[in-house]
Structure 1
Amino acid sequence: MALQQIVEQTVAGLGYDLVEIERSAGGLLRITIDLPWQAPVEGVLAPEQFITVEDCEKVTRQLQFALEVDGVDYKRLEVSSPGIDRPLRHEQDFVRFAGEVIDITLKAPMGAAAAGQVSANRKKFRGLLSRAEAGGWQIAWSDEPQPKPGQKVSKKRVPAPLQVLGFTLDELREARLAPIVDFKGRAAKPAAGQA
């Protein structure tokens, strides 16, 4: 059986989602897991849950056994949570993280279709993820730099225009949550239907 199948079956059998499998130099096998996501029921937000050390230990023990039985060659196994820069791979990931700031890298530059202030050969973008009206996905961003703490911003200054880029999952090389750290704590997300 292939490595991907062994890991997927083992992780799913324990009630987790497989996010990523990575093989590194020196025989390191890195497995990233997450808790299964349930779409919120109308008006009710489920409490956000996170992978714990105990979850990683449980998956590690089971994977060590499964990989040994199938004779998979590795020297070290590392099981972890996705972290703050979680990769987005499937449609469900994009649905789950709609409204969050993400980083995307396109497979090909935008080309001549890019109008406005964006460079036609730009591939990397950071913006707020949302569903596009015509189907697919879009990110919105402003190239205006964030003011530094304590910096006075003139009320007369015209803000940079908001730019929007539509894309499909087939056009992406990579998509990840933007690793933004806020030491003020997590803000409560509005319930569905509220803004």
Structure 2
Amino acid sequence: MDLRELLDTTVTGLGYELVLLELSPKGRLLRVFIDKPEKEGGVNVDDCVTVSNQLTRVLMVENIDYDRLEVSSPGLDRPLVKEADYARFAGQEVQIRLRVAKENRRNFNGILLGLQGGKVSLRTETGDVELDYDHIEKARLVPKFD
């Protein structure tokens, strides 16, 4: 079992979703972002402590060497990582950066319409656009402040 799979199994077992795992270049820092979709208000400090304590135990049992573990919420500008994220956050404003330019552009902002057939649909100021899911380098929600 690789590290991501181990962390995903542990976090899911606690009732959370593993959003993203970031590793420092030498693997000494493990940064884990968790979410709990059904929880109003999102993940709080107590949730992070619960997951951190459990992950610390699991990493010790599995003899995984690291210097520091950080567990946090994905934040208001949550990254969209999995295909399911594109359905879950349909209707919200997103920023998308492509690895491969489309129409001489790599950056797109707009309302996420969803993902179907390997294409992410986005409503931009200039009209609807479809982007290849496989070409997305980074996608994030745009925070809304009232």
After TM superposition, is the score higher than 0.5? Answer: yes
Tell me, yes or no, if structure 1 residue 94 matches structure 2 residue 95.
no
- Identify which range, 21-30 or 72-81, moves more after superposition: 21-30
| Partner Cα separation in structure 2 for residue 75 and residue 133 of structure 1 | 41
Give 1 or 2 for the bigger CA radius of gyration: 1
Aligned to 1:31: 32
| Partner Cα separation in structure 1 for residue 119 and residue 45 of structure 2 | 36
Decide whether aligned partners of structure 1 residues 76 and 15 sit closer, same or farther in structure 2, where only a CA change above 3 A counts: same
1:121 to 104, 111, 116: 104
**Alignment of structure 1 residues 51-130 onto 2, 5 Å:** 51-110=43-102, 120-130=103-113
Decide whether aligned partners of structure 1 residues 107 and 25 sit closer, same or farther in structure 2, where only a CA change above 3 A counts: closer
Aligned to 2:120: 137
Aligned to 1:172: 136
Deviations 1:69-124 (A, max 9, x none): 111111111000010111112222111111111011112111xxxxxxxxx32111
Decide whether aligned partners of structure 1 residues 25 and 126 sit closer, same or farther in structure 2, where only a CA change above 3 A counts: same
Aligned to 1:17: 17
Q: Which runs of 5+ in 2 are unaligned?
A: none
* Superposed structure 1 runs of 4+ greater than 6 Å apart: 132-135
- Give 2:35's aligned amino acid: D
Verify the 8 A CA contact 2:96 2:139 in the aligned structure 1: yes
Verify the 8 A CA contact 2:98 2:138 in the aligned structure 1: yes
Verify the 8 A CA contact 2:48 2:72 in the aligned structure 1: yes
- Give 2:135's aligned amino acid: E
Q: Which runs of 5+ in 1 are unaligned?
A: 38-46, 111-119, 143-161, 185-195
> Would you say how many aligned residue pairs link Structure 1 and Structure 2?
145
Please give the TM-score of this superposition, normalised by the length of structure 2: 0.88
| Partner Cα separation in structure 2 for residue 24 and residue 165 of structure 1 | 35
Q: In the TM superposition, what is the alpha-carbon distance from 1:163 to its structure 2 partner?
A: 2.3
Deviations 1:50-80 (A, max 9, x none): 1011110000000000001111111111000
Q: Could you say what the CA RMSD is over the residues aligned between the two structures, in angstroms? A: 2.2
Decide whether aligned partners of structure 1 residues 141 and 14 sit closer, same or farther in structure 2, where only a CA change above 3 A counts: same
Q: In the TM superposition, what is the alpha-carbon distance from 1:19 to its structure 2 partner?
A: 0.3
Deviations 1:146-179 (A, max 9, x none): xxxxxxxxxxxxxxxx32211232221221112x
Please give the TM-score of this superposition, normalised by the length of structure 1: 0.67
- Identify which range, 162-171 or 51-60, moves more after superposition: 162-171
| Partner Cα separation in structure 2 for residue 132 and residue 74 of structure 1 | 36
Q: Could you say what secondary structure the match of 2:56 adopts?
A: helix
